[in-house]
Structure 1
Amino acid sequence: MQTRASLPVTPASPAPAPAAKAVAVRHRLRAMLSWLHLWVGLLAGTVFALVGLSGSVLVLHDDMLQWQHPQLAGHEPRADGAVLARIFDQWSPEGLGSVHLPEPDGVPTWQGYFGDGRRGYFDPATGDLLLMRSTDDDWLLWLHDFHIELLGGALGKELLGIVGWIAVGLLLTGLYLWWPKAGRLLAQLRMHRGPPVRRWLTWHRSSGVLLLPLLLLATLTGVGMIYHAGFRAVLTGAFGGDAMPTPPELALDADRPIDWSRVLALAGTALPDARLTRTGAPEPGSDVVSFRARNAGEWHPNGRSLVHVNRAGTRVLAVHDATGQRPGARMTEAIYPLHIGSVGGPAYRWATVAAGLLPAFLLVTGFLFWRRRRGKR
């Protein structure tokens, strides 16, 4: 019996393997993130860079202020009640709202905060005006307003918050695009001198990765200051913490002047390990004088502890010790000092300055890489 030769059968094309599909998806995702990282970085990154540069300068605000205005330096930082009374009597009609007490490690004068944004500096011994500043005539205050609200008030602050979240996204996408294969960590961190395309790329990604924790901390704490209520709700909900206590209410039977000497002396004994930092005249008809205080162990340069006494300086009405709060509240109050570099001494302070310079460096190196690569095409 003869067997007919069978014709060769062309095999059907196999379906793409799941691994190949996954690789294709990763390539598309990487291409999309690379495009977004580039163009969003060039646009929003410009604002991020300018805000970072202004922040680096403001970390050194008190030093630069005393260098620019030497009349503020060299005073004995003492808080005299009679001098404080004179300052309030003279300047409250001009809009003075609160006064920061002379600081041994900062500006050693009284600092007055006015409702229109001005700041006045008064001799700690006499109360004489040494300097009046406003955003119209002081570049440091102008820079401060730019840093916290882009010179745009509440709207500028909201816009800055959006830029802050975008900056967090840029940092995380940059980390994803940099992430090396196994065994290539050191090679991926190496910075090359040339050619130009390789130089700008390696300088951009390696500096960004090496300083990412510091820059991410500065960015997140900045966003946390803008959205303080939301951050506090999340942190206290997760780690515990109560709302800030409200001042007690105590009405006056009749108008009575404030005995600032007795008030300062009594308030200073309410928290023995604390330093009083700020106060303001009480509301009309109220017998409550309130103080901010920095207790031992607090990171916040102005403190978040509170002391309330009566006008006559005879009774402590209420005390809030910020060091006794639960972890969530303590974490919330660490956001500001971490952002301005007031924790950990000079090393962290200068690291904060460096973190503020990094966005501008990343913007410039990223732009130079894009321009060189574009010129190669």
Structure 2
Amino acid sequence: MARTRAWPRGLRATLSWLHLWVGLVAGTVFALIGLSGSVLVFHDDLLQWQHPELTGHELRADGDVLARILREWEPRGLGSVHLPEPDGVPTWQGYFGDGRRGYFDPATGELLLMRSADDDWLMWLHDFHIELLGGDAGKQVLGVVGWIAVGLLLTGLYLWWPKAGRWLAQLKMHRGPPVRRWLSWHRSSGVLLLPLLLLATLTGVGMIYHAGFRAVLTGTFGGDAPPAAPQRAAPEARATDWPRVLALATTALPDARLTRTGAPDPGSDVIAFRARSHGEWHPNGRSLVYIDRAGTRVLAAHDATGQRLGARMTEAIYPLHIGSVGGAVYKWATALAGLLPAFLLVTGFLFWRRRRGKR
């Protein structure tokens, strides 16, 4: 009987020790990632504030302009082009194979801005947030830190959990003495905002281990992989009629908005588009449209809103993480969640320091 009673106390002490020391070490990385995420929630707003030449353009997607951009910039590494957005940057956005991003006038196709992580602080912050500036290796390290962060949040909840009837007392934030103040601020803020922070952390981990999360979600709730692109060889020397292609693509899914495209592969007659159907959370959409180079035939169309629940849950991971769901309220809530790891780190450190000084 004595052993049975001693075990929970030993378990609690062990978890408390791990929570403290792992939190002080891995929590530092977690805090920096959270702070960078809070800034990146407002990426487009900050970008347009920093570069006013990207603002004030009439929203338009002209096939001739798109053709000019691809003709001039594909030989220089342009991979895909994002169409002007009604709720984002109103210019063409080009994504290059080396990580650069180009912004082109929607009316003329002239280059307005070229950015890279080497000369743009927002892109540098983005690379830090998603891969710790370390490529695939950094991304894997970040994945491990993400799982550790989930463990810290759950052990913190366990250590906080009060006896029956003491819920409100356990949530109270005290002004003093210092040891009690920092502990109560640390615990109460962590518990009150736990759902929001846990969601942000799990969706971040889900983006790193996307294939595994998709397999679990689709296996549990149903869902298939998106349809493969049709295979169709282009007639020799056939040019792409971008005005006709763009016009036809907009009709393939009447309730969708085209978001991204690129030049066809050499020898292929297939032009691929990403699209966002009405009701999709993903800002770029997961719907697909395929058109032939001549712009005379819709080869295939996939409406992502018609997928089974598991597939839709998988595609909700990214928009939930970046705060693009639910308008301004959720956007600011996501930014708040990014600030919380730093607050927990500071209050946890101050509690440890004060308690240590009393010994």
For the criterion TM > 0.5, the same-fold answer is: yes
1:264 equivalent in alignment to 2:223: no
Q: In structure 2, which of residues 166, 184, 188 is the aligned counterpart of residue 202 of structure 1?
A: 184
For normalisation by structure 1, the TM-score amounts to: 0.95
- Residue by residue over 1:62-118, the C-alpha shift from the partner in whole angstroms, topping out at 9 and shown as x without a partner, is 000000000001111210000000000110111000000000100000000000000
Q: In structure 1, which of residues 167, 173, 183 is the aligned counterpart of residue 149 of structure 2?
A: 167
Counterpart code for 2:25: L
Structure-1 residue corresponding to 2:323: 341
1:80 equivalent in alignment to 2:65: no
Return the offset for 1:252.
Answer: 1.4
CA separation in 2, counterparts of 1:51 and 1:81? 39
Counterpart code for 1:78: R
8 Å Cα contact 2:182-2:348 kept in structure 1: yes
Structure-2 residue corresponding to 1:5: none
Structure-2 residue corresponding to 1:125: 107
Structure-2 residue corresponding to 1:21: 3
Return the offset for 1:256.
Answer: 1.4
Structure-2 residue corresponding to 1:229: 211
Counterpart code for 2:284: N
Q: How many residues align?
A: 359
Q: In structure 2, which of residues 197, 207, 225 is the aligned counterpart of residue 215 of structure 1?
A: 197
| 1:58-69 correspondence runs (5 A) | 58-69=40-51
8 Å Cα contact 2:79-2:96 kept in structure 1: yes
CA separation in 2, counterparts of 1:288 and 1:22? 68
8 Å Cα contact 1:241-1:326 kept in structure 2: yes
SS of residue in 1 equivalent to 2:102 = strand
Structure-2 residue corresponding to 1:15: none
Counterpart code for 2:186: H
Return the offset for 1:197.
Answer: 0.5
SS of residue in 1 equivalent to 2:300 = strand
SS of residue in 2 equivalent to 1:289 = strand
- Residue by residue over 1:128-178, the C-alpha shift from the partner in whole angstroms, topping out at 9 and shown as x without a partner, is 100000000000000000000000000000000000000000000000000
CA separation in 2, counterparts of 1:184 and 1:134? 53
Please identify runs of 4+ aligned residues in structure 1 that moved more than 6 A: none
Structure-1 residue corresponding to 2:348: 366
Structure-2 residue corresponding to 1:151: 133
- Which shifted more, 246-255 or 105-114? 246-255
Where in structure 1 are there 5+ consecutive unaligned residues? 1-17
CA separation in 1, counterparts of 2:98 and 2:36? 22
Return the offset for 1:336.
Answer: 0.3
CA separation in 2, counterparts of 1:198 and 1:64? 39
Counterpart code for 1:73: T
CA separation in 1, counterparts of 2:128 and 2:168? 39
CA separation in 2, counterparts of 1:178 and 1:365? 15
CA separation in 2, counterparts of 1:270 and 1:142? 37
Structure-1 residue corresponding to 2:284: 302
Return the offset for 1:23.
Answer: 2.4
Return the offset for 1:243.
Answer: 1.0
For normalisation by structure 2, the TM-score amounts to: 0.99
Return the offset for 1:224.
Answer: 0.2
8 Å Cα contact 2:63-2:246 kept in structure 1: yes
8 Å Cα contact 2:245-2:292 kept in structure 1: yes
1:293 equivalent in alignment to 2:256: no
8 Å Cα contact 2:235-2:269 kept in structure 1: no
- Residue by residue over 1:170-214, the C-alpha shift from the partner in whole angstroms, topping out at 9 and shown as x without a partner, is 000000000001100000000001111010000000000000000
Structure-2 residue corresponding to 1:136: 118
Structure-2 residue corresponding to 1:317: 299
SS of residue in 1 equivalent to 2:29 = helix
Counterpart code for 1:85: A
CA separation in 1, counterparts of 2:237 and 2:22? 59
Structure-2 residue corresponding to 1:240: 222
Return the offset for 1:333.
Answer: 0.3
Structure-1 residue corresponding to 2:231: 249
8 Å Cα contact 1:255-1:285 kept in structure 2: no
What root-mean-square deviation, in Å, do the aligned CA atoms of Structure 1 and Structure 2 show? 0.6
Work out which of the two has the higher radius of gyration on C-alpha atoms and give 1 or 2.
Answer: 1
Structure-1 residue corresponding to 2:15: 33
1:282 equivalent in alignment to 2:264: yes
CA separation in 1, counterparts of 2:182 and 2:111? 51
Return the offset for 1:255.
Answer: 1.9
- Which shifted more, 21-30 or 85-94? 21-30
Counterpart code for 1:342: S
CA separation in 1, counterparts of 2:329 and 2:296? 43
CA separation in 2, counterparts of 1:160 and 1:60? 22
CA separation in 2, counterparts of 1:253 and 1:58? 44
Counterpart code for 1:284: P
Return the offset for 1:289.
Answer: 0.2
